[in-house]
Chain A
């Protein structure tokens, strides 16, 4: 079966760095997405990785290792507004998104 694993909840301090991991087992791979979702709102796109390596976009970076079925989202200089759920999703061979359950990130002052 297809499976996406990510931690249920993480806590970090304002101004610090946090890494949210995601491991996956899917039938085929056409890219991995990270989305941010604030409570009661729809997800918003953060990043897309299809090749191995690190993609940096401002305070957020995303890394992918296809051979290991592994990705992480790195958030730097954490701000209170970064408190949200972070969803990892993999596009399988049918171009369907397989979603992880999400990681709830709590930022403390």
Chain B
């Protein structure tokens, strides 16, 4: 149980275009989903936290107009990178927190999406 999927697993796009990444919790309902970015040989950097039906909370330094997050349902959140630039190339990982996970507040991670902007 507790499987999170991401689509696509990798994407190459041209500079100036937009890319949408989907994150789905397959066998549980997620009250909260998190979007992370990870550059090579660095740790995870939280970009934003999204709760179903409400606006995402962005971390300091993350442009909300550039990284659009929509948490449309308890099983789906999307991240859209608008007007992508080469410096946006990174590994994007989502995670989801189970609605009824009990006391652990464990986050289940998707497999990640590798974005390359040319």
Residues of chain A having any CB pair with chain B under 8 Å: 30-31, 33, 35, 40-45, 48, 50, 87, 91, 95-97, 99-102
Contact = CB atoms under 8 A, between A and B. Distances in A.
A21 to B, nearest CB: 16
A95 B105 contact: yes
A101 B43 CA distance: 5
Chain B interface size band reads 20 to 34
A87 B43 contact: yes
Interface string B27-49: 00000001000000011111001
Determine the main DSSP class of A at the interface with B: loop
3 nearest A-B pairs in the assembled complex, by CB-CB distance: A42-B109, A101-B43, A42-B112
Contacts of A97: 34, 46, 107
Interface in B34-87: 34, 42-46, 49
Contacts of A96: 46, 49
Interface of B: 34, 42-46, 49, 91, 93, 103-112, 114
Contacts of A31: 104-105
Contacts of B107: 45, 97
A35 B44 CA distance: 11
A30 B111 contact: no
Contact of B109 (A30, A43, A50, A99): A43
Nearest to A4: B43
Given A50-B103, A87-B44, A97-B34, 15 more contacts: A31-B104, A40-B112, A41-B111, A42-B110, A42-B112, A43-B44, A44-B109, A45-B106, A45-B107, A50-B104, A96-B46, A97-B46, A100-B43, A101-B42, A102-B43
